[in-house]
Chains A and B, each alone.
Chain A
Amino acid sequence: MNPRVEGQQTAATPAVNSGARVISVGGGKGGVGKSFMVANLATCLARAGYRVIVVDCDLEGANLHTVVGAHAPVSSLADFVAQRVDDLGKLVFDTPIEGLQLIAGTHANLSDAQPTHLRRVRLMRALRRLQADFVILDLGAGVHSAVLDYFLVADDGLVVCSPEPTSVENAYTFLRAAFYRRMRLAMVGHGVRKLVTTAMDQRNEHGLRTPLDLLREIEAIDSADGARFVQTMREFRPRVVINNVRTAEDIKLGFAVCSVCRKYFGIDAEYLGYVNQDDDVRLSVASRKPLVEYRPKSDASIYLQRIARKLAGGRPSSFQAAAPNRVASPSGAPTPAAGSPTA
């Protein structure tokens, strides 16, 4: 099986590229540190020798380029979405950080609407074909279906949340929307799909209060869709990051959120880690450098590095893979997300 080889790429690397691992970073609320998380985790991974591309999917408030210290982009993701550019690889720009590249978000072209579902499918395929080990998507705030789709097709979906009731509430709203969207796309029967749509409204007249109520109802209609529902539940594993923690109590919030996800949605959310509140974050943004570059020894940087290492898992970096006695492990090859929306 030969990996896809892009024509204009150098011949040095394609052999190790078994498809980029796509990580999306969302969380519903604006200002919880999604772009901060993306820029810093990407920098950590790039420094560890991985080829990383960050993609600004925040089509309404794109500014990831500023956070990673790149210049304002001349072209952006919007050009691909609007089909002005066919090759996503042409929109990749270098950043001041070695190994880290960027696809910028829309800039000043407000006439571009959110992409349609079909165009998003095209985009997702192109993202996976990028010459990189990791492609990290910075999602916008809110629960627009475009945001949810980017979240759902990724290999890893990170939900960033800070220890404030509003942020937690938004994280749940986001998870609930993503959950139901994923479930609806996984269902086959027309009646069952409609039922999922009904359940998305929390005050529906069917009395479907929780995902488990919904499951019972689906099982009564169609046992095959019921089994699919359970299977999809199992595959849906968002990973929770708590940002801006100040106390040990704040850190425990991550456990609690994951427990609530288990008990309410029946999904196995994972507590990936936490990052403490740090005043230097503001300074790092002002200096247009990720914190892990600006203050690599700070607690926040150490926590970010831990999260990055967990994300990398056993995935071989380009450096490691290039070493003669290291072979890309088969487990590192991502299977295109089993439940990717194909409706």
Chain B
Amino acid sequence: MVQRKKKNEHPRFEEAYKSLFPTIFRVSYRITGDKGIAEDLCHEAFIKYYEKKELLPDLEQAKYWLIRVVRNISLNYEKRKIRERQAYIRFEKTSIDYTESGEDKLIKKETDGLVQEALNRLPYKLRVVLVLKEYAGLNYREIGKVLGISEGNVKIRVFRAREKLAIIFKEGELYVS
């Protein structure tokens, strides 16, 4: 009886989770570049969806809503990452040994996933737009709606992201022939 009442409160949760998790996870991973953090983002986004009082009319709307939540949370993560990186750079200057092991790690990471590494190197604003275009399958109007920017702005950001990626790929000398 209790379970039934709960089901009535959130009739679409199970359905939304099953059909939207792959997209939300992919987007989270591509924005943050880290599987564990992508899981954290998905956890938080779906909890928020579960607690949401007003139900969304369909799965498409639920997808936009979840992507928006993921984007907001990832923005906080991005800010923290920048602060940590700055702290790391400061630390790096004072410790030669640590710098060397840091470089080793970076080389290993590059060989593991150059594409994600290239995406990570894009500025956050450009990365998010391109990820939503390529990995969430949203069109310019939908991206604009999710991010609260104009379609023209989306167009510019998508192009700039591709432009920067072309340079990064060329530097990598693996994908551009």
On whether the two chains bind one another, the answer is: no
Task: Report which A residues bind B (CB closer than 8 A).
Answer: none
